[in-house]
């Protein structure tokens, strides 16, 4: 069983994807981390994220980088959204994601284009939403608890910039697949959001 979980920044898709993977006993891939790793390499090598050839050169990262907590920084997320708009960057990371999705036994992946590009054949697709202000509040709390001094207003502005960039790019834009089930987590606790997600997946895959 393949489950695709897509949605904008801090909508709760990662939390839901991890819980679904645990529930069904299948592996999970946070695909945003791959783009964040490219961004971290761009920074480390002093490359220009806006130049496609630079961003492609940064795709050759060591997998140990994926465990670096620095990947979760707000600035890394911004650069990830710049590099991820390049078609050649998306192409360089595609095979790995498709292979993960289609491994024997199934998988859960979360990102922006899982239901549309990586696994259009997924058995269940969720598109997770929440209002920008609620997402900014969640992400701000998260960053603050990790010692960041970034302001709520800055996090909200960055989320809006990233939403716009991710939704308007021509290759694999952030958009719900036609057959995706919408889940708005704005006013749901984590437990309620996870229960709802499991119920939606059950409804789609039962029988
Ligand atoms: O966790 P959050 O939603 O803030 O971000 P993320 O999932 O780690 O993704 C960081 C950036 O990578 C996004 O803003 C997208 O530009 C890009 N991304 C993408 O283009 N396609 C994916 N499947 C996953 C992430
Ligand atoms: O993966 P994505 O960026 O979409 O979001 P996440 O990492 O799953 O969630 C972002 C933050 O919001 C985390 O700190 C979650 O614990 C929190 N969250 C929440 O408060 N309520 C929810 N219904 C879902 C997530």
Which ligand sits closest to the CA of 188? 2
**Predicted complex ipTM exceeds 0.90:** yes
Burial of 207 (0-12, 13-18, 19+ CB in 10 A): exposed
Nearest alpha carbon, ligand 1 atom 2: 9
Residues 181, 127 contacting (CB under 8 angstroms) = yes
| Confidence check: pLDDT of 63 > 90 | yes
Residue 21 lies in a domain: yes
Q: For residues 144-161, give the mean pLDDT.
A: 96
| Confidence check: pLDDT of 97 > 90 | yes
| Confidence check: pLDDT of 207 > 80 | no
Ligand 2 pocket mutation, candidates 6, 8, 10, 16, criterion most atoms within 8 A of CB = 10
- The number of angstroms, rounded, from the C-alpha of 156 to the middle of its chain's C-alpha atoms is 17
Residues 128, 6 contacting (CB under 8 angstroms) = yes
Residue 167 lies in a domain: yes
Q: How far apart are CA 4 and CA 71, in angstroms?
A: 22
Domain count for the chain: 1
| 4 touches ligand 2 (CB under 6 Å) | no
- CATH number at 190 reads 3.40.50.300
What is the pTM (predicted TM-score) of this model?
A: 0.97
pLDDT at 206 (0 to 100): 82
Nearest alpha carbon, ligand 2 atom 9: 12
Rg (CA), the chain: 16
Residues 32, 5 contacting (CB under 8 angstroms) = no
Residue 33 lies in a domain: yes
Q: Which domain holds residue 175?
A: 2-198
Residue 10 lies in a domain: yes
Residue 86 lies in a domain: yes
| Confidence check: pLDDT of 2 > 90 | yes
Tell me how far the alpha carbon of residue 15 lies from the centroid of ligand 2, in angstroms: 6
Residue 18 lies in a domain: yes
Q: How far apart are CA 186 and CA 184, in angstroms?
A: 6
């Amino acid at each position: 069983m393949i489950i695709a979980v897509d949605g904008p920044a801090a909508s709760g898709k990662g939390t839901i994807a991890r819980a679904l993977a645990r529930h069904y006993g299948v592996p999970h891939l946070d695909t945003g981390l791959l783009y964040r790793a490219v961004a971290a390499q761009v920074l480390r090598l002093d490359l220009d994220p806006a130049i496609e050839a630079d961003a492609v050169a940064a795709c050759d990262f060591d997998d140990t980088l994926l465990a670096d907590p620095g990947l979760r920084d707000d600035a890394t997320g911004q650069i990830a959204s710049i590099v991820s708009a390049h078609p050649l960057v998306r192409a360089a990371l595609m095979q790995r994601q498709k292979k993960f999705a289609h491994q024997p036994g199934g998988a859960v992946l979360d990102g922006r284009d899982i239901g549309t590009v990586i696994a259009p054949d997924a058995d269940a697709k969720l598109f997770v939403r929440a209002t920008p202000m609620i997402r900014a509040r969640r992400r701000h709390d998260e960053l603050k608890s990790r010692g960041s001094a970034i302001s709520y207003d800055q996090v909200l502005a960055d989320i809006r910039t990233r939403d716009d960039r991710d939704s308007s790019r021509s290759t694999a834009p952030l958009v719900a697949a036609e057959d995706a089930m919408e889940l708005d987590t704005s006013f749901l606790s984590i437990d309620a959001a996870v229960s709802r997600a499991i119920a939606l997946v059950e409804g789609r895959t039962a029988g």
